[in-house]
Amino acid sequence: SQKIEQNSEALNIQEGKTATLTCNYTNYSPAYLQWYRQDPGRGPVFLLLIRENEKEKRKERLKVTFDTTLKQSLFHITASQPADSATYLCALGAGGYQKVTFGIGTKLQVIP
């Protein structure tokens, strides 16, 4: 069955460092991958989308890579700030938007 794995344990890093979150998947051939930020009790907020034929996407301090051979996406936040503390979700889509599957998320804590 399809499976998406994100670090289930929280990731703690020092302010100013680069945070790297991992999203691995199995039994899936996604056409695209999305990353979302979710604060406690709030709805997820879309951050970035990367397609299967793209290796890397950037947006301000965010960078996403997508390796379809390794079946993995890495999400980087450079110069991290305490305000970046949140849970980050990856989501995979096979084609249209009818079937987007979410991972359980990784909780990031940036320590001042």
Partner 1 sequence: EAQVTQNPRYLITVTGKKLTVTCSQNMNHEYMSWYRQDPGLGLRQIYYSMNVEVTDKGDVPEGYKVSRKEKRNFPLILESPSPNQTSLYFCASTDPSRTREGYTFGSGTRLTVV
Q: Which residues bind partner 1 (CB under 8 A)?
A: 32, 34, 36, 41-47, 49, 89, 91, 96-105
Q: CB of residue 29 vs partner 1: minimum separation in angstroms?
A: 18
Report the alpha-carbon distance of residue 52 to residue 68 in Å, rounded: 7
Task: Indicate the residue among 42 and 58 with the shorter CB distance to partner 1.
Answer: 42
Half-sphere exposure of 82 (CA within 13 A, CB side): 2
3 state DSSP class of 82: helix
Closest CB 66 distance from partner 1, rounded Å: 14
Nearer to partner 1, 47 or 77 (CB): 47
Comparison of 69 and 98: residue with beta carbon closer to partner 1: 98
